[in-house]
């Protein structure tokens, strides 16, 4: 039986989380490649805004929307009707520790299983799941972390977000093994890059805080980065590459300490340099603050820890290539200025 992955007929791709940073860029690249995109949204009221961001210069019937919620079975059969592929990006991402960690974890895990079960029942050719290096970097491994590494959900290092991504991905692999669902997983690093609109999430919000003078000093904490356009490209490549089936792929580049991130911004936007962080908070002080600060508790176990990753597998199998690492940092700041979210100096 011929594979449905590269069937020449026009394909419909369901993109969950299409209103999000990554989901929007994935949809934009799929449309540019000639796919029809169906986006799942919790509220139909956001559809006009998303359509304008995806297709600012032309009206198109290649993008449509369906209402479906990760917490409900309703709507997913309709969302998947006629789809050849699913790219599942939707997942909760809190800016600080959630009040109900178990609820967030259940939403991520059960929502993923709900989408994957519906995809299996609909007979899709492949599901590409967005996981995270949050599911690789916080276990017993050592940097640079690879796809062989897993976060330990029982570890004190595993914040609710890290646990949610790890448990959701592990549940997805279990379901795929049980049902025969063709699954590929992308584990992006911390995502930066240009915004499609003024709405933004936690990672972009960090750059906004830095550029606006809200962070005078930063902890000795860091992460690997990836441009949202490159993360989207990895999803699109994994969707049809025959060797992506049953594989997880880390996509990320250089590891930056927060002070190094600030230095890139200062060099690139000298008029904003006075607003940027100019020093580091000692580890002992962050640990002392942790009992009273949710933000400190989120990073206290990763202070001064190298959390760099290797994207060699994605480069080798998917022929994935990333932009220069500093470009995504600069693009984020420029986009924030362009959308009026940071005052132009």
What is the tens place of the pLDDT at every residue in 10-25? 799 999 999 999 999 9
Look at residue 77 in the predicted model and tell me its pLDDT: 96
pLDDT at 8 over 80: no
Look at residue 91 in the predicted model and tell me its pLDDT: 81
Sign of CA pseudo-dihedral 52, 56, 57, 63:
negative
Look at residue 343 in the predicted model and tell me its pLDDT: 82
pLDDT at 85 over 90: yes
Can you give the pTM of this predicted structure? 0.94
Look at residue 1 in the predicted model and tell me its pLDDT: 37
Residue 315's alpha-carbon distances to 30, 130, 175, 196, 249, in angstroms, are 20, 17, 27, 26, 9
- Interior CA angle at 250 toward 246 and 255, to 5°? 170
Pairwise CA distance, residues 162 & 23, whole Å: 20
Residues of the chain with pLDDT > 90: what percent?
83
Contact predicate 78/54, CB 8 Å: no
Q: How confident is the model at residue 299 (pLDDT cuts 50, 70, 90)?
A: very high
Look at residue 249 in the predicted model and tell me its pLDDT: 99
Q: How confident is the model at residue 7 (pLDDT cuts 50, 70, 90)?
A: low
Enumerate the β-bridge partners of residue 190. Answer: 225
Task: Give the residue carrying structure tokens 């909760």.
Answer: 92
Look at residue 170 in the predicted model and tell me its pLDDT: 98
Pairwise CA distance, residues 296 & 274, whole Å: 25
Look at residue 57 in the predicted model and tell me its pLDDT: 74
Look at residue 133 in the predicted model and tell me its pLDDT: 98
Q: What is the mean pLDDT of the chain?
A: 93
What are the residue boundaries of the structural domains of the chain, listed by start? 12-192+226-252+308-322
| Sheet strand arrangement including 12-16 | 63-67, 36-41, 12-16, 85-88, 126-130, 183-188, 248-251
Look at residue 95 in the predicted model and tell me its pLDDT: 57
What are the backbone dihedrals phi and psi of residue 46, each rounded to the nearest 5 degrees, phi first? Answer: -90, -5
pLDDT at 213 over 90: yes
Which residues are known to be catalytic?
A: 165
Look at residue 5 in the predicted model and tell me its pLDDT: 73
Look at residue 58 in the predicted model and tell me its pLDDT: 66
pLDDT at 120 over 90: yes
Look at residue 2 in the predicted model and tell me its pLDDT: 44
Q: Which CATH class is domain 12-192+226-252+308-322?
A: alpha beta
pLDDT at 168 over 50: yes
pLDDT at 97 over 90: no
Helix (H) / strand (E) containing 190: strand 190-192
Q: How confident is the model at residue 60 (pLDDT cuts 50, 70, 90)?
A: confident
Contact predicate 256/277, CB 8 Å: no
Reported as a single tens digit per residue, the pLDDT across 236-246 is 999 999 999 99
146-160 mean pLDDT: 94
The rounded radius of gyration (Å) of the Cα atoms in the chain is 20
199-205 mean pLDDT: 91
């Amino acid at each position: 039986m011929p594979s449905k992955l590269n069937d020449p007929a026009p394909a419909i791709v369901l993109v969950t989380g299409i209103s999000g940073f990554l989901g929007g860029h994935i949809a934009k690249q799929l449309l540019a490649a000639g796919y029809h995109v169906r986006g799942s949204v919790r509220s139909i009221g956001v559809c006009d805004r998303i359509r304008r961001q995806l297709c600012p210069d032309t009206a198109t019937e290649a993008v449509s929307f369906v209402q479906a919620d990760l917490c409900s079975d309703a709507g997913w059969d309709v969302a998947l009707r006629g789809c050849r592929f699913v790219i599942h990006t939707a997942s909760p991402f809190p800016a600080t520790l959630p009040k109900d960690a178990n609820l967030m974890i259940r939403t991520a895990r059960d929502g993923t299983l709900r989408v994957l079960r519906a995809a299996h029942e609909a007979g899709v050719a492949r599901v590409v799941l967005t996981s995270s290096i949050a599911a690789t970097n916080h276990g017993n491994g050592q940097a640079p972390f690879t796809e062989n590494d897993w976060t330990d959900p029982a570890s004190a290092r595993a914040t609710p977000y890290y646990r949610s991504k790890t448990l959701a991905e592990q549940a997805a692999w279990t379901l795929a093994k049980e049902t025969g669902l063709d699954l590929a997983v992308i584990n992006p690093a911390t995502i930066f890059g240009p915004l499609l609109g003024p709405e933004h999430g936690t990672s972009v919000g960090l750059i906004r805080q830095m550029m606006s003078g809200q962070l005078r000093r930063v902890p000795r904490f860091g992460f690997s980065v990836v441009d949202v356009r490159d993360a989207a490209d990895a999803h699109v490549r994994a969707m049809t590459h025959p060797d992506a089936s049953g594989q997880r792929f880390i996509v990320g580049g250089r590891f930056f300490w927060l002070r190094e991130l600030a230095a890139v911004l200062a060099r690139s936007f000298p008029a904003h340099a006075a607003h940027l962080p100019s020093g580091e908070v000692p580890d002992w002080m962050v640990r002392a603050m942790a009992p009273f600060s949710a933000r400190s508790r989120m990073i206290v176990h990763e202070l001064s820890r190298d959390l760099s990753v290797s994207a060699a597998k994605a480069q080798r199998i998917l022929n994935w290539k990333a932009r220069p690492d500093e470009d995504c940092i600069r693009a984020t700041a420029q986009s924030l200025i362009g959308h009026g979210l940071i005052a132009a100096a």
